[in-house]
Structure 1
Amino acid sequence: MQTVDIHRRWLDFFADRGHTVVPSASLISDDPTLMFTIAGMVPFIPYLTGLVPAPYPRAVSVQKCLRTNDIEEVGVTARHGTFFQMCGNFSFGDYFKKEAIAYAWELLTTPEAQGGYGFEERDLWVTVYKDDDESFGYWKEISGLPDHRIQRMGMDSNYWSTGLPGPAGPCSEVFYDRGPAYGAEGGPAADEDRYVEIWNLVFTEYLRGEGVGNDFEILGDLPSKNIDTGMGLERVAFIKQGVENLYEIDQVRPVLDLAAELTGKRYGAVHEDDVRLRVIADHVRSSLMILGDGVTPSNEGRGYVLRRLMRRTVRALRLLGVQEAVFSPLFEASKAAMSAGYPELERDWSRIRQSAVAEEDAFLRTLASGTTILDLAVESTRKSQSAELGGDTAFLLHDTYGFPIDITMEMASEAGLTVDVDAFKKLMTEQRDRAKTDARSKKQILADMSVYSAFRAHGETHFTGYDELETDTSILGLIVDGHSVDRARQGDTAEVILPETTLYAEAGGQEADAGTIVGDGYELTVTDVQRPVAGLTSHRVIVTRGEVAVGQSARTVVDAQWRHGARQAHSGTHLVHAALREILGENAHQSGSYNKAGYLRLDFTWGQALSPATRSEVEEVANNAIRADYEVITREMALSDARELGAMALFGEKYGETVRVVDIGGPWSRELCAGTHVAHSSQIGLINLIGEASVGSSNRRIESLVGHDAFKEFAAERAIVNTLTSSLKTPREQLPDRISELMANLKAANKRIADFEAKALAGRIPTLLAEAGRVGDVLLVTDSLGDLGSVDELRHLVTQVRAQAGETATTVALAGVVSHKPVIIVATNAAAREAGHKAGVLARIAAQLMGGGGGGKDDLAQGGGADVSMIPAALDAIVSEIRG
């Protein structure tokens, strides 16, 4: 049974039983505590917790998920993968335990010919929470399983909660017995390698209190009991396809086979090689799916997780003997295996491939540079007569350069060294602990979100700001310091909840509106507008006058000038995006944006810097669209209809079934967008591109001023040009040539001055040698030369003096002032060094007296400081050191 068939049967079964089919949400999670969707229930958490009213009583989905907490187990066990698909059926206060158990048993055991999965009853085992007699009874009644095949388990494995006060409840799991060849008899309690969990049913029925781990109090029953179940698609697939593990199913095996071909390894021959081939197959598929949802490799957040997966893939390939770039065919094979279930991969393939190949190329270059750093560290370790490379060096290579520890260990071993792995692991643990502390603080923020549930129960906040800047409403709720209150007084900072508003909440890259909320006896200055939960708008305000209470009438007032600027910037973002795609092609796809009054920033997928000519062309195309005075048309329609029209969905954005489509110039710029826009493109005024830079191996960022701010920038540049034409007495069109001429003259003059100063300094060499003193058998040349043009001048003079001193043991220490800072250069010849005098030591002694630092090699060294007046004392210290 193919994976897509398992997928289809799941949706069909529950759809036939009154469940609303919910398409998979993005891997990019809405939950602020999660970078990725880590479980099938994540998109439904607001409904399961009661924070947001469920739009349907029962639902079914096959959800894309990603977990990397067990990444070291990938390839080692049969059940650990990073990307996986979770089949889930959900009930929100509708059916409960008996029906959920009945559905699970029916689907699992119904013959394949009748639409089920065709599992034999003899191969299935069940676990329930140890005190859940009700579930135990339902399983006996519905399945007819004997008592010993329904095992009671503890809270660690069969009880669910978020770890915080809120919903909780017992679980029941279904396991498949793979047979005696895979482990001991006795059910899941005896061996979870032989007995593979395929389905988990969570019965959310209680409200838990504070506590740590399993030590918490049950406060009572939830108002409505929910069902959240999950069946692992990959686990069922490898069982139904008769293969050993999830890496060998039809959606993964093609990549594994290609990796084996590229590396020249035979899968099944050597365990270590098999593990690496599985890692490649798993990580390529995971990276493909993450890229498909719009994430690009970077050094932070989701982009870092993606980069880590891709670099682990390169590492595994390297350990299997592949040094060259091979991502293109590997990702192509994964796309072919996955596109039947996710056709968008085919549609976005060009962009996905470009990002994958660019990241591989970048990492191969990183490996080359990291190798250089590692070589230096190896050389330093050898000089110190140590056989162990420091853990701090390994951590630096890993953390700063993305150099995997395995490659560091491999290359150190080739050089005859070991690596202090314990120290490396300690530094990694400290880093993870810092991340966990941050995650816990974010988790606590989520716990405080429950304050919004009562307000969200009244319905969604209605945004009227597309058509008007002011609207009459009432105060639905007030929140101060995370608690719901009935009033707020002058000077308080509060959150205001309203049934309707004209104030735009930050979303889609557009900054929140500025404005006020006013009513009888009070005025509130709006400092921010956000959507803390889906469908609910919260206005952060300062009470600038009077006192406001829940239930009072209110009026939202948008700052008209701010909104106009925001509209200009957001519409301008669409024009710049369309211009980029017209000039560069469809691979230049927006991957992020930010806009506010007067300014826009747009990130887009592209692997190289834009030339000045291309930047000018983008700017010209965008401004031509402004001059064309295109009508900006906004329409609401079904998401499927919008896609048929060719409307572009931007990665990282979440869209419902009904979307808003914004057209500027018809299909030339047609995007899904909930932001505010001008009515005609001419109202944008002007676009002035001010910057373009890299923000990742395959991402660029373009910045622009918009409207009046763009005009002011052009006016400032014009003022500079006018000043130059007046000062240089040169027409504007001749300025480039005139400035080039002046720069050439200046360069020539500086060279003549430098030559003159070098000759003048060289002329002092006879005097310096004549005035030199002897300390024992060493000729010591010291002097302070005053102001100098550069450190290079001083260094050149010192080496010349040393050279003209001949074979006599000589130490030269000359000081000067460069850019108002003291500098000293010390040089020794071979005879002086044989006498025990080292330039690096002497420079360091002198520099410390001048309030700085220094050092270098035994033959030539440099020191510097902050106190010019200490130069004589620094030179005296060198004399004393040599005399001593």
Structure 2
Amino acid sequence: MQTHEIRRRFLDHFARAGHTEVPSASLILADPNLLFVNSGMVQFVPFYTGEQTPPWATATSVQKCVRTVDIENVGITTRHNTFFQMAGNFSFGDYFKREAISLAWSLLTSSVKEGGYGMDPEKLWATVYLDDDEAVEMWLETGVPLERIQRRGKADNYWSMGIPGPCGTSSEIYFDRGPEYGVAGGPEADEDRYIEIWNLVFMQFIRGEGIGKDDYEIVGRLPRKNIDTGMGVERVAFLLQGVDNVYETDLCRPIIDKAEELTGRSYGVVHADDVRFRIVADHSRTVSMLISAGVNPGNDGRGYVLRRLLRRIVRSARLLGAEKPVMAELMSVVSAQLAPSYPELATDFSRIETVAVGEEIAFLKTLNTGSALFDNTAAAVKAKGSAVIAGADAFTLHDTYGFPIDLTLEMAAEAGLSVDERGFRALMAEQRERAKEDARSRKHAHIDLSIYKELVDRGATEFTGFDELTSEAKVLALIADGVRVPVATAGQDVEVILDRSPLYAESGGQIADRGSITGAGLKLTVNDVQKIAKKLWVHKTTVEQGQITEGDVVQAQADPAWRRGATQGHSGTHMVHAALRQILGPNAVQAGSMNKPGYLRFDFNWQGQLSEQQKADIEAVSNDAVGANFPVNTFVTDLTRAKEMGAMALFGENYGDEVRVVEIGGPFSIELCGGTHVQYSSQIGPITVLGESSVGSGIRRVEAFVGLDSYRHLAKERALLAGVASSLKVPTDEVPARVEQLVERLKVAEKELERTTMAAVLSSAGSFVDTAERVGAVLLVAVAAPEGMPTGDLRTLATDIRSRFGGEPAIVVLLGNADGKVPFVVTVNKSAQDLGFKAGDLVASFGPSIAGRGGGKPEMAQGAGTDPSGIAAGLAAVRTWVAESA
């Protein structure tokens, strides 16, 4: 049975049982505790906690999930994935244990003709919590004998999210793969033979603080009993498809096949290779899904996880023998396999491929750099007479330069060296513990939004701001310091909930309106407006005079000047987005934005810096659209129709069935957007692009002024230009040519100075030659160079000195002193090399004296130290070392 069919059968089974089919949420949700959605129930948490009332009593979904906690174990075990699909059925105060057990059992054991999975009931086992006699009785009712029901403790059969919040006992269903996979005795005896496929959580309690799966207390009960279940789609797939593990199913094996083709090696021959093939297959799926969700490679958070996964793919492919880039072909296979369930992987394939390939190219450069650094490290180790690369050096290569430990181990073996793996692992463990401590310090319970629940349940705030700036409204509630209060007085900060409001609540990149709430003898300043549950407007205010009471009828007003500037900024953002796509193409996809009165910034997916011409073109296209005075049309339609019209949507954003479309100039710009806009594009005013920069790997940012702020900026620029023209005593239109002339004259002067300096450096070579000492069979020049001499001049001087000795064996060591650093150059001519002297070995002799490191080839090495006070000692060490080696 194919995986796509397994998903469909699950949803159909529960739909027939009255459940509402809910689409998978994005992998990225606004939850401070989660980098990614990691279970099927995450999007339903507000319903379980009672913060929101669910729109249905029961639901079913197949949720895309990502877990990277045990990323190092991927491929080593054969049943874990970083990306996986969790099929689930959920009850919000409707049915409980008996129905959950019955529904799961019937889907698993019903025949394929009846819409089930056709599993043999004799191969299924159940586990329950220690004292859950009720669950045991219910499993007996289904026909599972007592000997196939096992009781387990809190760590195994008690579920929570790992933080204070919903929890409850659970019952898990296991499939017995048979004696060839392990010993008998049920899940307690062997979880390789007995594979968990379904977890039924009987959620009815609230857990407190604690760490781990069982170190916490139960501090209360949920408002009602709920059901949360999760069936691992990939695990069921490998069982129903008769393969040994999740990597050999219909959605993973084709990726391994492609990896075999790209590397020339075969899966199933060597265990170490098999692990690498599985890493490639698993991570390729996850990478594709994360990029599709709007994640881009970066150095922290979600971006770092994506970067790490991409690098593990590239590393594994290289270790398998791949000599060329692999990401483009791997992403193509992933799209072909998963697009039937996730069509966005096909429609957004070009961007996914661009991001993945760009990161691969960058990492391949890192690998090349790391190889050079490894060579230097290996040379230093051999110079000391050792055969072991220190764990600290391996860790530095890995942590600072991104050079994988696997490659360090392989290259060390090729060089006849080993690596202190224990030391490396210890440093890695310390780093992981620091990361865990940091995560624990930031991890906290879900923000308590229950105080807003009653208000959310009453219905959404009516936003009147599309049509008016002042609205009469009723005060539904006042909240101060997280507590409902009946009244607030002058000087007090208070959250005001109104039944209707013309003030825009921050969303979609547009910051909130500023304004006021007034009444008889009453005035409040509105400092911010935020949404709760996407539909309740919370006005954050300061009471300036009078007192406000729950139930009051007031006037809410958005600041007209603020709103006018905000609409210019938001409509200007749409102009710039459309211009970017027109100039750069469809891969310039929005990755975020922020706009406020007079200013906008727009982040988009793109590899590489924009040229000056591209920036000028973006500005020109944007202003042409402004000048065209396009009408701005807004309308509400269903999501499918909006996508058919070509409306742009923000990646990672969850949209409802009905969406608001903003259309400017027909096909010029059409986007899904809930913000406020001008009526005609000319009302935006001039758009001035301030610049373009990088805000992360594969993400660029354009910033611009609009309207009067644009005019003020241009006026300031004009004044600056006039000042420069006055200083140069030329008309403003001649300033560029005049500046170019001055720059050329400066370049000529700098080159002349460089020639003069070099001549002075080389003229001193003779005096250094005169200091040569005969040490055994070689001539040694070991001196301190003139203070302030840069490394480039040191290298030139050392080379010239060496050349003056002709064929006689000679060694030149120059130690500089510049800005508190000690740059150095060591050079050894061919005759001295024939006697066994190498530049890198000499560095090891004086390096400790100046706290320096360096490396290079046998004829020349260079580097720098940080302790100028050790120069004299370092030169003495050189003489001693050469004398002992002569």
The two structures have a TM-score, normalised by structure 2, of: 0.85
Equivalent AA in structure 1 for residue 314 of structure 2: V
Instruction: Report what 1:130 is aligned to.
Output: 130
Distance 1:551 1:443, change over 3 A: farther
Distance 1:633 1:372, change over 3 A: same
Instruction: Report what 1:18 is aligned to.
Output: 18
**Alignment pair present for 1:261 and 2:261:** yes
**Alignment pair present for 1:194 and 2:202:** no
Instruction: Report what 1:600 is aligned to.
Output: 600
Task: Please give the alpha-carbon distance, in whole angstroms, between the structure 1 residues aligned to 2:520 and 2:388.
Answer: 75
**Alignment pair present for 1:472 and 2:472:** yes
Instruction: Report what 2:282 is aligned to.
Output: 282
**Secondary structure, aligned partner of 2:65:** strand
Instruction: Report what 2:231 is aligned to.
Output: 231
Alignment of 1:450-461 (within 5 A): 450-461=450-461
**Secondary structure, aligned partner of 1:622:** helix
Would the aligned equivalents of 1:295 and 1:302 in 2 still touch at CA under 8 Å? yes
Task: Please give the alpha-carbon distance, in whole angstroms, between the structure 1 residues aligned to 2:784 and 2:99.
Answer: 95
Task: Please give the alpha-carbon distance, in whole angstroms, between the structure 2 residues aligned to 1:666 and 1:606.
Answer: 26
Residues 447-477 of structure 1, C-alpha deviations (whole Å, 9 max, x = no match): 4444444443433333332223333334444
Equivalent AA in structure 1 for residue 174 of structure 2: F
Instruction: Report what 1:361 is aligned to.
Output: 361
Deviation (angstroms), 1:245: 0.9
Task: Please give the alpha-carbon distance, in whole angstroms, between the structure 2 residues aligned to 1:695 and 1:468.
Answer: 37
**Secondary structure, aligned partner of 1:113:** coil
Deviation (angstroms), 1:548: 4.7
Deviation (angstroms), 1:66: 0.8
Instruction: Report what 2:300 is aligned to.
Output: 300
Distance 1:415 1:760, change over 3 A: closer
Would the aligned equivalents of 1:802 and 1:827 in 2 still touch at CA under 8 Å? no
Distance 1:841 1:256, change over 3 A: closer
Instruction: Report what 1:144 is aligned to.
Output: 143
Deviation (angstroms), 1:85: 0.6
Deviation (angstroms), 1:441: 4.4
**Secondary structure, aligned partner of 2:443:** helix
Instruction: Report what 2:118 is aligned to.
Output: 118
Would the aligned equivalents of 2:163 and 2:445 in 1 still touch at CA under 8 Å? no
Distance 1:379 1:645, change over 3 A: same
Task: Please give the alpha-carbon distance, in whole angstroms, between the structure 2 residues aligned to 1:803 and 1:260.
Answer: 53
Deviation (angstroms), 1:203: 1.2
Alignment of 1:168-207 (within 5 A): 168-207=167-206
Instruction: Report what 2:883 is aligned to.
Output: none
Would the aligned equivalents of 1:85 and 1:233 in 2 still touch at CA under 8 Å? yes
Task: Please give the alpha-carbon distance, in whole angstroms, between the structure 2 residues aligned to 1:782 and 1:406.
Answer: 41
Where does the alignment leave 5 or more consecutive residues of structure 1 unmatched?
Answer: 771-777, 831-837, 848-852, 867-872
Task: Please give the alpha-carbon distance, in whole angstroms, between the structure 1 residues aligned to 2:126 and 2:871.
Answer: 85
Distance 1:854 1:123, change over 3 A: closer
Task: Please give the alpha-carbon distance, in whole angstroms, between the structure 2 residues aligned to 1:693 and 1:750.
Answer: 30
Task: Please give the alpha-carbon distance, in whole angstroms, between the structure 2 residues aligned to 1:386 and 1:764.
Answer: 39
Deviation (angstroms), 1:482: 4.4
Distance 1:510 1:381, change over 3 A: farther
**Alignment pair present for 1:167 and 2:172:** no
Would the aligned equivalents of 2:794 and 2:824 in 1 still touch at CA under 8 Å? no
Distance 1:144 1:445, change over 3 A: closer
Task: Please give the alpha-carbon distance, in whole angstroms, between the structure 2 residues aligned to 1:110 and 1:637.
Answer: 41
Instruction: Report what 2:836 is aligned to.
Output: none
Task: Please give the alpha-carbon distance, in whole angstroms, between the structure 1 residues aligned to 2:284 and 2:687.
Answer: 40
Instruction: Report what 2:884 is aligned to.
Output: none
**Secondary structure, aligned partner of 1:456:** helix
Distance 1:796 1:292, change over 3 A: closer
Deviation (angstroms), 1:283: 0.9
Instruction: Report what 1:613 is aligned to.
Output: 613
Instruction: Report what 2:712 is aligned to.
Output: 712
CA-based RMSD? 4.3
Equivalent AA in structure 1 for residue 300 of structure 2: E
Equivalent AA in structure 2 for residue 33 of structure 1: N
Distance 1:629 1:240, change over 3 A: same
Deviation (angstroms), 1:502: 2.9
Higher mean C-alpha deviation, range 475-484 or range 78-87 = 475-484
Distance 1:539 1:758, change over 3 A: same
Higher mean C-alpha deviation, range 249-258 or range 220-229 = 220-229
Task: Please give the alpha-carbon distance, in whole angstroms, between the structure 2 residues aligned to 1:100 and 1:666.
Answer: 51
Distance 1:616 1:226, change over 3 A: same
Residues 120-174 of structure 1, C-alpha deviations (whole Å, 9 max, x = no match): 2111111222222222222222x12222222222221111233444432211111
Higher mean C-alpha deviation, range 662-671 or range 511-520 = 511-520
Task: Please give the alpha-carbon distance, in whole angstroms, between the structure 1 residues aligned to 2:205 and 2:824.
Answer: 78
Deviation (angstroms), 1:38: 0.3
Task: Please give the alpha-carbon distance, in whole angstroms, between the structure 2 residues aligned to 1:267 and 1:769.
Answer: 63
Deviation (angstroms), 1:623: 0.8
Residues 375-415 of structure 1, C-alpha deviations (whole Å, 9 max, x = no match): 23333344444444344433333334332222223223333
Deviation (angstroms), 1:552: 4.4
Task: Please give the alpha-carbon distance, in whole angstroms, between the structure 2 residues aligned to 1:399 and 1:196.
Answer: 36
Would the aligned equivalents of 1:284 and 1:334 in 2 still touch at CA under 8 Å? yes
Instruction: Report what 1:251 is aligned to.
Output: 251
Instruction: Report what 1:9 is aligned to.
Output: 9
**Alignment pair present for 1:347 and 2:353:** no
Instruction: Report what 1:370 is aligned to.
Output: 370
Deviation (angstroms), 1:780: 14
Instruction: Report what 2:564 is aligned to.
Output: 564
Would the aligned equivalents of 2:798 and 2:827 in 1 still touch at CA under 8 Å? no
Deviation (angstroms), 1:625: 0.6
Task: Please give the alpha-carbon distance, in whole angstroms, between the structure 2 residues aligned to 1:51 and 1:381.
Answer: 61
Instruction: Report what 1:773 is aligned to.
Output: none
Instruction: Report what 1:28 is aligned to.
Output: 28
Distance 1:36 1:761, change over 3 A: closer
**Secondary structure, aligned partner of 2:289:** helix
Alignment of 1:222-621 (within 5 A): 222-444=222-444, 446-486=446-486, 490-519=490-519, 523-545=523-545, 548=548, 550-621=550-621
Distance 1:193 1:474, change over 3 A: same
Would the aligned equivalents of 1:127 and 1:150 in 2 still touch at CA under 8 Å? yes
Higher mean C-alpha deviation, range 390-399 or range 751-760 = 751-760
Equivalent AA in structure 2 for residue 283 of structure 1: H
Would the aligned equivalents of 2:124 and 2:173 in 1 still touch at CA under 8 Å? yes
Where does the alignment leave 5 or more consecutive residues of structure 2 unmatched?
Answer: 771-779, 829-841, 878-886
Deviation (angstroms), 1:801: 12
Task: Please give the alpha-carbon distance, in whole angstroms, between the structure 2 residues aligned to 1:397 and 1:822.
Answer: 26
**Secondary structure, aligned partner of 2:568:** helix
Instruction: Report what 1:48 is aligned to.
Output: 48
Distance 1:373 1:542, change over 3 A: farther
Instruction: Report what 1:675 is aligned to.
Output: 675
Equivalent AA in structure 2 for residue 169 of structure 1: G
Alignment of 1:715-864 (within 5 A): 715-749=715-749
The two structures have a TM-score, normalised by structure 1, of: 0.85
Deviation (angstroms), 1:278: 1.2
Equivalent AA in structure 1 for residue 404 of structure 2: P
Alignment length (residue pairs):
850
Instruction: Report what 1:775 is aligned to.
Output: none
Would the aligned equivalents of 1:603 and 1:700 in 2 still touch at CA under 8 Å? yes
Task: Please give the alpha-carbon distance, in whole angstroms, between the structure 2 residues aligned to 1:412 and 1:501.
Answer: 68
Distance 1:63 1:630, change over 3 A: same
Would the aligned equivalents of 1:801 and 1:812 in 2 still touch at CA under 8 Å? no
Distance 1:115 1:779, change over 3 A: closer
Deviation (angstroms), 1:549: 5.0
Distance 1:519 1:372, change over 3 A: farther
Would the aligned equivalents of 2:791 and 2:825 in 1 still touch at CA under 8 Å? no
**Secondary structure, aligned partner of 1:401:** coil
Task: Please give the alpha-carbon distance, in whole angstroms, between the structure 2 residues aligned to 1:822 and 1:232.
Answer: 61
Equivalent AA in structure 1 for residue 203 of structure 2: T
Would the aligned equivalents of 2:383 and 2:844 in 1 still touch at CA under 8 Å? no
Equivalent AA in structure 1 for residue 158 of structure 2: Y
What percent identity do the matched residue pairs reach? Answer: 51
**Alignment pair present for 1:90 and 2:73:** no
Distance 1:484 1:167, change over 3 A: farther
Task: Please give the alpha-carbon distance, in whole angstroms, between the structure 2 residues aligned to 1:447 and 1:70.
Answer: 27
Instruction: Report what 2:694 is aligned to.
Output: 694
Would the aligned equivalents of 1:791 and 1:823 in 2 still touch at CA under 8 Å? no
Task: Please give the alpha-carbon distance, in whole angstroms, between the structure 1 residues aligned to 2:211 and 2:448.
Answer: 17
Task: Please give the alpha-carbon distance, in whole angstroms, between the structure 2 residues aligned to 1:563 and 1:284.
Answer: 45
Would the aligned equivalents of 1:516 and 1:556 in 2 still touch at CA under 8 Å? yes
